[in-house]
Structure 1
Amino acid sequence: MPDWMPSWGTTALISIVTSLLTLIVAGRYISPPLEVRNRRFQAKMQAREKFQANMLDLLSAVTHLLAAPVAPEATDTVRTALREERARWRAQVDEATKYLTDHAVQLLFAYQGTRLPELAVRYSSNARGVWISDRSEEQKLTNLRDITQHCHALFFDSPVYARQRVRSWTELERLLEQLETLETPSSG
């Protein structure tokens, strides 16, 4: 180094040049891929959050519909109010199942592996299929409650409850298989 520069100046100059080069390289070659990765991760997490939110909306509305039948001995005012509430809850079930079906493909990217994302898509399709089927309302609600409880336990319970999640996975697959075989028209 030049003799007019003190020894600490050389260290400072090397430090400044290294910092500038690191900043340039990081800004040009490292930051853009990290930003893309961050956006993908955020999209994945948002898909999971919306999946869970719609599942909980569905479970809540189904539970209300099962728990609050219109009692014939109630007054006209109460019966009218209950009918309006039940219509509102039915609309919530309809909206949640529509959302789950319309956005099911996002779940293929939100979860890893092959079986788990496919199970999420199967659940979403079956939930809508059950809701628009010819089953009685009681059957629809019971089927929706059962598959939604198991699906929620599988996807959103804590990893601490691994045994419960495995049981939910098995039961969900069994219920979906049962629903799918009931819906297939018999050939003959």
Structure 2
Amino acid sequence: MHSTVWTILVAAVTAVVVSIANGLIVTPRMEARKKRLGEAHAARDAFNSNMTTVLSACVLLRTLVPPLADNDPETTPVMHERLTGERERWLQQLDDATRWMIDNSVAYAGSWPGSQLKEFAMSYAASARMVVLSERSETDKTEFLLALTAPVRRQYFGFAWSRVRHYLADRRAFADTLARLGREATAT
């Protein structure tokens, strides 16, 4: 009888000690890890959303050409004002999206394994922001942003088979666009 009570007592004390240790050591570390992973994935999602915003705003700006003059007979003054307002709104979306990407690049780029993926994301964010801040024409800005964003977005958020299939072509297209940007910057 004495050994049975002793066994039950040792088991109960062991269970309490393990439970307390788990609550004090393991659980807080797991909760902190869960929070960090959640923040990293949220940053990645926001990166994807901002790249989608860049793509859609560029396509809209390219599609909706502004009226050539205030006195264009095809466009009333009210319609001219509305179209100009829409274009300004899309340009503001480009500014906001690229600002977020450059300001938060460490949060999302740092969440990918390997230095190549991190550098690719940060290089894209910096390049896209510099294009928006540049004194290029709207047309040139939208073309450069499309050329920069499409391959980067496919590499980070495309289907797995598409990423692998287009890996070299996307890297080459991105590098070529950066080279074009560099040539234009030195030419001016």
The answer to whether the superposition gives a TM-score over 0.5 is yes
Residue 75 of structure 2 corresponds to 74
Residue 150 of structure 2 corresponds to 149
**Cα RMSD after superposing both structures:** 2.4
1:86-138 CA-partner distances (Å, limit 9, x unpaired) = 11111111111111222223234222211111111111111111112122211
- Supply the AA of the counterpart residue of 1:167: A
Select 1:27's aligned residue among 23, 27, 30: 23
**Structure 1 stretch displaced more, 163-172 or 77-86:** 163-172
Residue 173 of structure 2 corresponds to 171
* Residue 106 (1) aligns with residue 107 (2): yes
Structure 2: unaligned runs, 5 residues or longer: none
Superposition map of 1:57-96 within 5 A: 57-71=53-67, 72=72, 73-96=74-97
- Supply the AA of the counterpart residue of 2:66: V
TM-score by length of 1: 0.83
Preserved contact between residue 154 and residue 166 of structure 1 (Cα < 8 Å): no
**Structure 1 stretch displaced more, 150-159 or 10-19:** 10-19
From the superposition, tell whether residues 179 and 107 of structure 1 become closer, same or farther in structure 2 (CA, over 3 Å). farther
Preserved contact between residue 157 and residue 165 of structure 1 (Cα < 8 Å): no
Residue 185 of structure 2 corresponds to 183
CA distance in 2, matches of 1:184, 1:127: 18
Query: Deviation of residue 169 (structure 1)?
Result: 2.8
CA distance in 1, matches of 2:122, 2:185: 17
CA distance in 2, matches of 1:108, 1:177: 22
CA distance in 2, matches of 1:16, 1:70: 78
- Supply the AA of the counterpart residue of 2:88: A
Query: Deviation of residue 27 (structure 1)?
Result: 1.4
TM-score by length of 2: 0.83
Task: Count the aligned residue pairs.
Answer: 182
Preserved contact between residue 107 and residue 121 of structure 1 (Cα < 8 Å): no
